[in-house]
Amino acid sequence: MSGFHHRIATEADIPAIRDLMARAIAVNQTAFLTPAQIALSHSVMGLDTQIIADGTYFLIERGETLVGCGGWSARATLYGGDASIVARDPAPLDPAKDAARVRAMYTDPTQVRQGIGRMILDLCEGAARAAGFSRTEMMATLSGEPLYRACGYLPIEYVQSPPVDGVSVPLIRMGKTL
Ligand SMILES: CC(C)(COP(=O)(O)OP(=O)(O)OC[C@H]1O[C@@H](n2cnc3c(N)ncnc32)[C@H](O)[C@@H]1OP(=O)(O)O)[C@@H](O)C(=O)NCCC(=O)NCCS
């Protein structure tokens, strides 16, 4: 894709990533969730800094501007950020029998539908394959589902985030054989 380039995120990128994530959660999900579900999403989704420490989180930039981010992981956690209400599990996965995780995909709301999500997913799948995995899975939001379906992912399980004040966020565990 012309005009875009990618690199691996470092700790110095964390403030810009958190800012992009907050905007993507608030704006990109309005066609899919209620305002209460979007408000709760900020506590369900977000950045798991373990992925940045592992060196498996990609940034897409146009010039020096961050326009998208997302990563993969060889650890058991399927979704959730440092501050989120869902538990995380850093146990290592076995490429011979487990599916690598695709994690925390976000596109700047002013840059959607230009293939940034697809580009990040390609990078994640390539890196997971190079690490010996033959399958990838993620916990998809309703906003992520069309992208993942377009890229060959199929639903495995429909779930809800833990409820807070009677509100929960619908989620779909999805997977793909690479
Ligand atoms: C999900 C998200 C990252 C997609 O980013 P994106 O960069 O706009 O996706 P792409 O441009 O690569 O889309 C590729 C294809 O996916 C499908 N798609 C993506 N977004 C779609 C939408 N809102 N509605 C319908 N189809 C969509 C289309 O087939 C699209 O191809 P097309 O534009 O040629 O029709 C973005 O919407 C987002 O930030 N959502 C909020 C955060 C989130 O929920 N992340 C997922 C966590 S699991």
Cβ of 118 less than 6 Å from ligand 1: yes
pTM over 0.85: yes
Domains of the chain: 5-177 (3.40.630.30)
Which ligand 1 atom sits nearest the alpha carbon of residue 120? Answer: 12
> Which long-range contacts (C-beta less than 8 Å, at least 24 apart) are formed by 84-87?
84/43, 84/44, 84/45, 84/46, 85/43, 85/44, 85/161, 85/162, 85/164, 86/44, 86/161, 86/162
Q: Is the CB of 66 under 6 A from ligand 1?
A: no
pLDDT at 85 over 90: no
Whether 72 and 100 have beta carbons less than 8 Å apart is answered as: yes
Find the helix packing angle between 35-44 and 14-27, rounded to 10°: 160
What are the pLDDT digits (tens) for 147-168? Answer: 999 999 999 999 999 999 999 9
Cβ(147) – ligand 1 distance below 6 Å: yes
The residue-averaged pLDDT of 88-109 equals: 96
Cβ(28) – ligand 1 distance below 6 Å: yes
